[in-house]
Amino acid sequence: MIFRLIEVVLPDSNKEETERLLEEYEVNDYSYSKFSKTHLEFHIIVKRDITEELLDAFQKKFSNQEGFRIIIIPIDTYIPLPEEKQPIAEEEATTKQEEHERISREEIVSQVSEMSQLTKVYTVLVAASAIVASIGLINDDVAVIIGAMIIAPLIGPNIGLSLANVIGNKELAYRAIKTNVVGIFIAFFISLIMGMIFAINTQNQSIVLRTNVATASIFLALASGLAGSLAITTQLSATFVGVMIAVALLPPLAAFGLLVGSGNFYLALSSLILFLVNLVCINLVATLSFMAQKIKPLEEKESLTAKKTAIRSIVIWISILVILFVLIRLKLI
């Protein structure tokens, strides 16, 4: 059982209204203390599955109040554990549990926003992973390639773009695109230089695999996008799931740079197509996953706008995917 400590700051005048609101929800415990001369701070312990519902209620009711703020703190241990309340109806309880298996929208947005930041650590990790991946491809060393994918922090900007489309957050979308583009350029540029320096054997099995758009590769990309979105919304280990996304993106991108650097432009184009197909698949299925989990803005008007944005992005991803497949089938690329 996972809990959250929600700290809410409100004007003193909202005390009774807040207590009435808390009575409507199955909070495990709450208290309040003086925050300032004019404000109170409520300390509320709730189970994870009703966190988003309670946060929405607070925001709808008090978001216009001066000094209103909410802080969410995960709780690993709560002693003693509260007794489970008997559900009114088993079917109703099961449905509610299925709807709230994920963490709250606010926690998801906060986590993904941080992962989508363009930082020095991100650029260094991408550069290091590109070097390691290039060496692994050149030497046909699978273990080294796997090591590169463990390093690569590619889950953040890709999942960030999908989430941004679903919630209609333009700022997050811009940040994710910027971080993704910079990461892709760094990985390509480094592998390009290494392709110019080292001799590249195009019959190398590791490189051959990254110049062929196989069905298995596509399913890997789809599974990666799905796993990435679920890792974020259910607090699974995003580090391990990030390796799956790196598997789909980093090796073909590194192979593309190596082949361009060595002058094998036709094979390089095949690696680029594999990379693009995987990139599209990851973002497409992650967007669909977020929509299926009913992640949307709080306000109804914003929710409708965000839904249109998400649908538009899905249409764009599918259109790009269809074009790529047509070109592949016609052997134009």
- The amino acid occupying position 296 is K
CB 31 within 8 A of CB 104: no
Question: Helix, strand, coil % (nearest 5) of the chain?
Answer: 70, 10, 25
Task: State yes or no: pLDDT of 323 exceeds 70.
Answer: yes
- Span 3-86: which CATH code? 3.30.70.120
Q: What would the 3-class secondary structure string for 16-64 be?
A: HHHHHHHHCCCCCEEEEEECCCCEEEEEEEEEHHHHHHHHHHHHHHHCC
Chain-centre distance for alpha carbon 305 = 21
Which of these, 178, 140, 143, lies nearest to 157 by C-alpha position? Answer: 178
- Residue 83 main-chain phi, psi, to 5 deg: -70, 140
Strands (E) located in the chain: 3-11, 29-34, 39-47, 69-75
Q: Buried b vs exposed e over 130-142: b needs ≥16 C-beta within 10 Å?
A: bbbbbbbbbeeee
Cα separation, 112 vs 27, in Å, equals: 27
User: Residue 150: pLDDT band by 50, 70, 90 thresholds?
Assistant: confident
CB 27 within 8 A of CB 44: yes
pLDDT, tens digit (0-9, with 9 covering 90-100), for 71-105: 999 887 777 776 655 554 444 444 444 445 788 88
- Residue 7 main-chain phi, psi, to 5 deg: -105, 120
Cα separation, 111 vs 115, in Å, equals: 6
For the chain, the domains span 3-86, 105-329
User: Residue 45: pLDDT band by 50, 70, 90 thresholds?
Assistant: very high
Cα separation, 9 vs 71, in Å, equals: 9
pLDDT, tens digit (0-9, with 9 covering 90-100), for 4-22: 999 999 999 999 999 999 9
Q: Buried b vs exposed e over 143-155: b needs ≥16 C-beta within 10 Å?
A: ebbbbbbebbbbb
User: Residue 166: pLDDT band by 50, 70, 90 thresholds?
Assistant: very high
For 211, the token pair is 């110049």
Q: At what angle do helices 142-151 and 120-139 cross, to 10 degrees?
A: 170
pLDDT, tens digit (0-9, with 9 covering 90-100), for 215-259: 677 788 888 888 888 888 887 766 667 777 888 899 999 999 999
Which of these, 248, 258, 196, 257, lies nearest to 220 by C-alpha position? Answer: 248
Q: Helix, strand or coil for residue 4? A: strand
Could you identify the residue written with the tokens 């216009």?
64
Cα separation, 132 vs 254, in Å, equals: 10
